[in-house]
Structure 1
Amino acid sequence: MASSTVTSAQPERPPRPNLAFRRLRGKRSPAEFAAAVRRAAREIGERVSCDARYVGRVEAGEIRCPNYAYERVFLHMFPGRTLTDLGFAPRSSVRGRQARGAGESWEAGEPYKTHDTRDTRDTRTDRDDRDDRDTQDLYETHDNNEESDVLRRAFMTSGATVAAASLGPLGLALDAAAAGRPTRRAGTGEAGALEEAVRRIRLLDDRHGADGLYRRAAAPLRTAYALLDAGASRQATADRLYTGAGELAISVGWLAHDSGRFDDARSHYAEALATARMNGDAGLEAHAFCNMAFLARDAGRPREAVRAAQAAQRAARPLGSDRLMSLLSLREAGGWAGLADRVGCEQALVRAQTFYGRGPSETDPEWMSFYGEAELEGLEAQCWSTLGDWPRAARHARRAADLQDPHFTRNLALYSAELADDLARGGRPDEAAGAGLRVLDLLGEVQSSRIHTMLAGTTRVLLPHRRSPTVSTFLDRHGALPRPA
């Protein structure tokens, strides 16, 4: 494996212009063609930061092979063609290449960033795409990072375990497994450490919320993909690494999701989905689609939420887990509620209850440990709240809060915040303020932008009722909170 991470000393060959790609552009300007690429990406659910400069670099031959996101977009734009037909080199031929030169080298200590990746250099002129200026590419980190696998390989040579160890508790397991090994090929120790890192992130999120964890959890994710790229000594270990890396991507995506970083979350979930499909892992695919449905609902894309939830159910059906199918039905219900389709929502809720009533089984995924009766009630409350049925939403939110294990502080705060908002909007301000005060009591232990956002909405509804002593107390305490970073 060492040879795969060492760059040859051969002189750099001058790039060959990509004439095939230039012919496909036709009479369109580079900016017009870039706009067409972005539109095609949206058609298949991808996001790429394509601009005239990127098109020019492809045509000049500087980009010998696009990253996976661009590959999917180009093949969608030109059906029936292969990358070779488009003038690109086979992906296998560009693995391990060194950065081309000054000004285009990859950052030594951060080769696989998972956040803060907005492209601010887009000079596109297409009027239909002006509101896309902040769209980030789900797979690129900056313009010269065409091959994410090369970046991960570079990360291995720069010391993946150092990045993991720098995170304190979240990195220790991966660091302990990887340190001191004479070979870069991963074994069962690394696979076990990766699985443990996923469990620890989920536990910390359940207890404390996402805001304080997200940036710290990104480095173990880079380490996971570095281990995956290094290869494994056995196929069984490789399968564990793929699943572990995908689950970690989902966990980090959820931290981004819960802390309001929706673009980052979408990127992580897409990475998990790609990992699942590369390894033929139906369970991981169902999990990725499950979270993508939840994110789409929260981001105001209810139709996408419905379709992602339905895709998750198709992937999950052969797995034999009724509890998983119950949760995925709830995700679909949330999408139908966002579309104001009460019938579709009710039908999905009935399926969720029916599946849940069949009980747990040995086929239930480990990541579903959070999904109990409290979560079932809480998600149903969110559906009725979206549909504007505040009394019904409040009943389910109250059950969720009453059923929640108090050790899971974040969920208890979430259900109580949902209850406060439903009561406020349902015309019961004093009860709403009481529930809101219980949430404020928990915020010393919980950092969740989602909960802060919900409380802010509740305060706006309660402002006209300030003369009530309970409401006044809640509003004053809420107003004294430090603003979340």
Structure 2
Amino acid sequence: MDATRNTVLEAWMDEHGFSSNSLANAVNLALERLTGRIGKCDGRQVRDWRSGRVKWPNSATRKALEDVTGRHAMELGFMPRGRPSSTVTPRQEDEDPMHRRTLVAGTLSAAVAAAAPGPRSTRRIGMSDVESLQEKFGAVIASDHNRGGQRDIEQRAARLADEALNLQNSGSATQRVRSTLYAAAASFRSSAMWAAIDGRRFQDATTHMREAQTLAELSGDQAIKFRIWSHAGSLYRHLGRPADARAANDVARSLHITRRDPMFASLGIARQMAIQGVAHEHGNLRRTFDQAQEAMARASEDRRPVWLTAFYDEAELHSLALSAYLAAGDWPTAEFHAHRCLAALRPHMRRSLAIATSRLAHAQLAQGDVEAATHTAMSVPAEAATQHARVSRMLQEFSAALRATAPGSASAHNWTEHTAAWRPSA
């Protein structure tokens, strides 16, 4: 008998901007979270699902797919062998042995429950409620660029995500308002995720990521989906897992919004460049930078989310290039991009200033310019040097490299005296 196409799955993929390859990548990441092993799903398998050649994927793959989509496998058009096609209601007890509740599934249940107003509620939730939350989101973004990576920023963003979900349960609302509230909750949760990444609290970041991904799916908002998957790529890059970073960033880059708006496309390409640096793909870096710069040049002055307009510009593009070339060991090119980044940075980007300056010091020291490197490192504000986890780590690594490169030098002595002031007195 001829296979019947799974039009339900196809419709879900079209609605949420997934290609066969990007859905396979998302399923593989979910499989790794579930099993601890990297998944082996590929675009061909997804095409088999769509065509109906595979009507019921194996249990682990089904569970991963359900985590990605927030829907039961039968709600995605799959059907167990031997079950009549007219039966479409998922069973309460499935033969799937993986019944343990993951954090994502738990978040989905909580969020869906929050969407149903209480039986006695008479309040009408409107866009004014959403706009009040969005103003708070702007404050979180501002704090991030000023004091990035701090635990209080992470905790505040997480509380505001919960506030957005609690608002769902406080009265009646239109579907548009509910979707926007889910997008707000996802935005706050993704900011909590980024603060944890920036503070090198990677386990916390992973927890926030899973919750943010679920909320983004409930919202249907392409921009916030892009932010979360792009942040996932950054998380895996900082963990030294370039293959996973590339897979997550590919999901972000495959979303429809990157085809509609060149600025999103540019950011996706620029973060791909940073991943290439970690993977030591030296030959691709210049071409990828040029592609990101060209996409940015094509972008119009459209209205965009505050999280994007607050940080992504020419300076951030050069910052990502600096990161890429530093990881790849091309010190002169890294220094070039550092100077371009620092020249273009907007005044409110204080966290980015400290990071770029620390990276510049590394690039100068690696070229043997000990005095200039030490002077650069000493210009990093003490607050960032002691309170921002990424900056602190980079300067600790700089100290070790300086001692190895120029032990006993005047520069090493000056640096030791300079950093002594950072240590609290007994």
TM-score, normalized by the shorter chain, greater than 0.5:
yes
Counterpart position of 2:342: 401
Contact persistence 2:223–2:257 (CA under 8 A): no
Equivalent residue for 2:30, pick from 44, 55, 63: 44
* Deviation of 1:422 (Å): 1.7
Structure 2: how far apart are the matches of 1:475 and 1:73?
A: 57
Show structure 1 runs of 5+ residues with no match. 1-39, 51-64, 90-121, 123-135, 158-181
Residue 237 of structure 1 deviates from its aligned partner by 1.9
User: What is aligned with 1:291?
Assistant: 231
TM-score (norm 1): 0.64
Q: How does 1:55-454 map to 2 (within 5 A)?
A: 69=67, 80-81=79-80, 84-85=90-91, 87=93, 138-139=103-104, 147-149=109-111, 183=122, 186-211=125-150, 212-230=152-170, 232-317=172-257, 320-369=260-309, 370-441=311-382, 443=384, 447-454=387-394
CA distance in 1 between partners of 2:104 and 2:421 (Å): 40
The higher-RCO structure (CA 8 Å, 6+ apart) is: 2
Percent sequence identity is 24
In 1, the alpha carbon distance for the partners of 2:69 and 2:340 equals: 48
Please name the residue that 2:20 is paired with: none
Partner of 2:5: none
Q: 1:308–1:83: structure 2 CA closer, same or farther, 3 Å change rule?
A: farther
Indicate conservation of the 8 Å contact 2:30/2:68, yes or no.
Answer: no
Candidates 410, 413, 416, aligned match of 1:472: 413
Deviation at 1:403, TM superposition (A): 2.0
Give the partner amino acid of 1:44. A
C-alpha distance in 2, partners of 1:70/1:311?
12
Per-residue deviation at 1:354?
A: 1.0
What amino acid does structure 2 have at the position aligned with 1:219?
R
Cα pair 2:157 2:189 within 8 Å, conserved? no
Would you say how many aligned residue pairs link Structure 1 and Structure 2?
355
The C-alpha deviation readout for 1:394-452, integer Å capped at 9, x for no partner, is 111122122212332111111111111222223222211111111144538x8321111
AA aligned to 1:148 is: A
Structure with the larger helix share: 2
**CA distance in structure 1 between the aligned counterparts of 2:105 and 2:423, rounded to whole angstroms:** 35
Give the AA of the match of 1:191. V
**Per-residue CA shift, 1:125-183, capped at 9, x if unaligned?**
xxxxxxxxxxx954378xxx9943488689x99xxxxxxxxxxxxxxxxxxxxxxxx74
CA contact (8 A) 1:194 1:245 kept: no
**Unaligned runs of at least 5 residues, structure 2:** 1-25, 37-62, 81-87
- Aligned mates of 2:330, 2:249 — CA distance in 1: 23
Aligned to 1:300, the other structure's residue is in SS state coil
TM-score scaled to structure 2, two decimals?
A: 0.72
1:48 offset after TM fit, Å? 4.7
Q: For residue 403 of structure 2, what is the amino acid of its counterpart?
A: L
C-alpha distance in structure 2 between counterparts of 1:482 and 1:441, whole Å: 10
SS in 2 for 1:213: helix
Given that 1:206 and 1:410 are in contact with CA atoms closer than 8 Å, whether structure 2 keeps it comes out as yes
Q: Determine the C-alpha separation between the residues in 2 that align with 1:390 and 1:304.
A: 26
SS at match of 1:139: helix
